[in-house]
Amino acid sequence: MLFAFRVAVAVTRGVENAVKNAARIGASAFALFLKSQRKWVSPPLTSTSALAFKSALTTYNFSPAHILPHGSYLLNLGNPSSEKRQQSYDCFLDDLKRAEQLGLQLYNFHPGSTTGGCTKEESIGWIAENVNRALKETSGVTIVLENMAGQGNVIGSTFEDLRDIIALVEDKSRVGVCLDTCHMFAAGYDIRTKDAWEETMASFDTIVGTQYLKAMHLNDSMGEVGCKKDRHDNLGRGKLGLKTFEHIVRDPRTQNLPLVLETPCDDEVDLGSVWRVEVGVLHELAADGRTQKTEVDVGLVMSAAGFESSGVAVPPIPVAVPGAVSTSGTVEVTPAADGVAAIVHPPAATSAAASTSAATVPPATDEQIVEMEARIKVAAEKANVKKAKPKPKATKAAAGGKRKRGAKKEESDEDEDEDEDEEE
């Protein structure tokens, strides 16, 4: 298995810096936002920047197949308001054209919401209609639907929702699914044991089809099964438990897929510190020969421009990984508000060997799991201690009696913010 940090870069600084930043930490794949994820309109991607991005991919030996851009949090292709739906579509299409311009193959986004103003069937129809429109206006990019936790009026918390959208997509060769473990669990899919995971994936295959699985988000859940709350936790720190991720990373169906960590990391001194521990543990669980000792070091990211403009020296770190010289995988890095890390299994040429290797290594013992969880706990407690900051007093005149619409804090804040954002 290989690692990547998702690098958030300001478009005005150049998306090519994401490639350089990932290379600096010894990564061989990455993910990024193609523009601000909290604005409807962003400066255009220049041809110069796009060419530099592609050139950097070649220079640093990155594969477009393992780069997983994430769509804007504002998107709601199923909004009952035709005006707001068009606004979402314009933003959506702009993202896809950026991905196309960069030669990328995947694009992940949240399907949408009824906002309580229409039936689920109507909203699903509009989502599929807009996906069809976008596919006709672009080429080469696969649109990846993310499953959701089920809060409020959100579409996509059930496999049936995903199936119904895909059923209406005309070009099924360019549509897929990203399964988020926290979202699955919160939506009612209990995947904690290997048997339960197998049962869930058998259901997914029957209802949606395993051929549509293009990526996963690996996150523990603060909430219990069926809580419908999207609250991510560090691996082994939530209700899923660390053992859950062992049978996931060893599953042949997850080989050669981007497996993205979106767990909390607010370390202002060493951003990514807990992710380094988590990805090290995932290597051990996957029994792929990598251990904590082979991890790369990560520097502080001070701004949305990433390492390139942070002023922090992050020198190239050569990492010798047996059997992984020219393969792809990543650990991603963004500022704290957007922080996620990811792992990517080896490509198809080596995934069979990796699966065989994992199959021959016995599962981790209870004692080993406890030790790994303790390691993550120490790193998480250190990384996620937030400094107390005085909160400015908001007057009713200034705030209108509520938080500003569209001011979504984090992707994991779906249950607090989704209705406001999706109604935009």
104-159, pLDDT tens digit by residue?
999 999 999 999 999 999 999 999 999 999 999 999 999 999 999 999 999 999 99
Q: Output the pLDDT for position 331.
A: 31
| Averaged pLDDT for residues 238-249 | 97
Q: Output the pLDDT for position 23.
A: 63
- What would the pLDDT profile of 58-83 be if each residue is shown by its tens digit? 988 888 988 888 899 999 999 999 99
Q: Output the pLDDT for position 332.
A: 30
Q: Output the pLDDT for position 267.
A: 73
Do 336 and 303 form a contact (C-beta atoms < 8 A)? no
| Averaged pLDDT for residues 91-96 | 97
Q: Output the pLDDT for position 194.
A: 97
Q: Is the pLDDT of residue 308 over 50?
A: no
Q: Output the pLDDT for position 152.
A: 96
- What would the pLDDT profile of 179-203 be if each residue is shown by its tens digit? 999 999 999 999 999 999 999 999 9
Comparison of pLDDT for 290 and 161, the residue scoring more: 161
CB-based contacts of 220: which residues, under 8 Å, 6+ apart? 181, 182, 232, 233, 234, 235, 236, 237, 238, 239, 240, 241, 244, 263
Q: Output the pLDDT for position 318.
A: 31
CB-based contacts of 26: which residues, under 8 Å, 6+ apart? 296, 316, 317, 318, 319
Q: Is the pLDDT of residue 337 over 50?
A: no
Do 130 and 113 form a contact (C-beta atoms < 8 A)? no
Comparison of pLDDT for 36 and 197, the residue scoring more: 197
Q: Is the pLDDT of residue 224 over 80?
A: yes
Confidence of residue 395 (pLDDT cuts 50, 70, 90): very low
Query: Whole-number mean pLDDT of the chain?
Result: 76
Q: Could you list the residue range(s) of the whole structural domain that residue 216 is in?
A: 2-422
Q: Output the pLDDT for position 400.
A: 43
Which letter does DSSP use for residue 363 in this model? P
Q: Output the pLDDT for position 360.
A: 79
Comparison of pLDDT for 213 and 301, the residue scoring more: 213
Q: Output the pLDDT for position 197.
A: 98
Confidence of residue 48 (pLDDT cuts 50, 70, 90): very high
Do 51 and 88 form a contact (C-beta atoms < 8 A)? no
Confidence of residue 29 (pLDDT cuts 50, 70, 90): low
Domain containing residue 245: CATH number: 3.20.20.150
| Averaged pLDDT for residues 327-351 | 37
Beta bridge partners of 178: 146, 215
Q: Output the pLDDT for position 260.
A: 79
Place of tokens 């069809």: 132
- What would the pLDDT profile of 352-376 be if each residue is shown by its tens digit? 555 555 667 899 999 999 999 999 9
* Phi/psi of residue 197, nearest 5 degrees: -60, -45
Q: Which of the residues are catalytic?
A: 38, 70, 73, 110, 146, 180, 183, 217, 230, 232, 262
Domains contained in the chain, number: 1
Comparison of pLDDT for 270 and 219, the residue scoring more: 219
**Choice among 139-148, 279-288, 300-309 with the minimum mean pLDDT:** 300-309
CB-based contacts of 141: which residues, under 8 Å, 6+ apart? 96, 99, 100, 104, 105, 106, 107, 174
> Which residue from 154, 224, 233 is spatially nearest to 190, judged by alpha carbons?
224
Do 349 and 11 form a contact (C-beta atoms < 8 A)? no
Confidence of residue 287 (pLDDT cuts 50, 70, 90): confident
Comparison of pLDDT for 320 and 101, the residue scoring more: 101
Looking at the chain, the whole-number percentage of residues with pLDDT higher than 90 is 52
Alpha carbons within 13 angstroms on the beta-carbon side of residue 383 total 24
